[in-house]
Amino acid sequence: MSNLIERLAYCVEHGKINKVSPYPPGMKGEDGADELTVQALQEGIPPQDLLSKAFEVGMERVGKKFAENKVFVPQLLMSAKAMTTAMEHLKPFFMAGDVKRKGVFLVGTVKGDLHDIGKNLLAMMVEGNGWEVIDLGVDVGVDRIMEQLEKHHGASVGMSALLTTTMVNMEGAVKEIKEKYPETKILVGGAPLTIDYCRKIGADFYSPDPQGAVEYLNSL
């Protein structure tokens, strides 16, 4: 059982999606995250163990490598694809309540900004670490965030911006969210942001990479 879980974690870490996937070359022709998840469920391994001991572990490993510039966006995307493919097999267990999520994370690119690569990477990393992610997309106004907070009390919020001209929209959004839901944790990120700007606008956390955000959320 432990060997199967470790193989699954390895597949997620290295982006081995399924048997026909040519990446990584060293695992050509071997079962990937897709097949191994099915096998694990058939052998009676608890779905919660697959999430916490395989998927989360694999995503954490590749996330740390990404933060240390040991792997880059393409590798991270392959890992996320392996994880999401495997997670499809766990959906019935989520629906039945057999697998518990750590919490709800709302994420979107701020009003006026259409860039989504950073936001997408963060969403995939957070989901792979056991959170329910609600991706609001791009050009997200505070009204859409407030609508979701009304439905998901206690959710955390992530806001991304790639432009100096759009990151200013974060300040008003943070203020409005905090006025109505002061307990909400707000994470901000994107190329032009800094920890000083995060503090200035009243957000709770800033990280230059997705792994930092994952670690912060897991600490809540």
Tell me the per-residue pLDDT of 111-128, one tens digit each, with 9 for 90 and over: 999 999 889 989 999 998
Choose the final residue of a domain: 77, 96, 115: 96
Evaluate if residue 166 carries a pLDDT over 90: yes
Pick from 127, 114, 117: nearest CA to 88: 127
Same domain, 111 and 203: yes
Residue 74 corresponds to which tokens in the numbers above? 């393409």
Buried b (16+ CB within 10 A) or exposed e, 24-47: eeebeeebbbbbbbeebbeeebeb
What is the domain range of residue 10?
2-96
Name the percent of the chain lying above pLDDT 90.
Answer: 92
Q: What is the mean pLDDT of residues 165-190?
A: 97
Q: What is the mean pLDDT of residues 15-36?
A: 96
CATH code: domain of residue 121: 3.40.50.280
What span, in angstroms and rounded, lies between the C-alpha atoms of 95 and 169? Answer: 36
Residue 215 corresponds to which tokens in the numbers above? 């670690």
User: Considering the entire predicted model, what is its pTM?
Assistant: 0.85
Same domain, 91 and 166: no
| Peptide bond before residue 46 is cis, with ω within 30 degrees of 0 | no
Same domain, 114 and 151: yes
Q: What is the mean pLDDT of residues 122-135?
A: 93
Evaluate if residue 1 carries a pLDDT over 80: no
Q: What is the mean pLDDT of residues 12-35?
A: 96
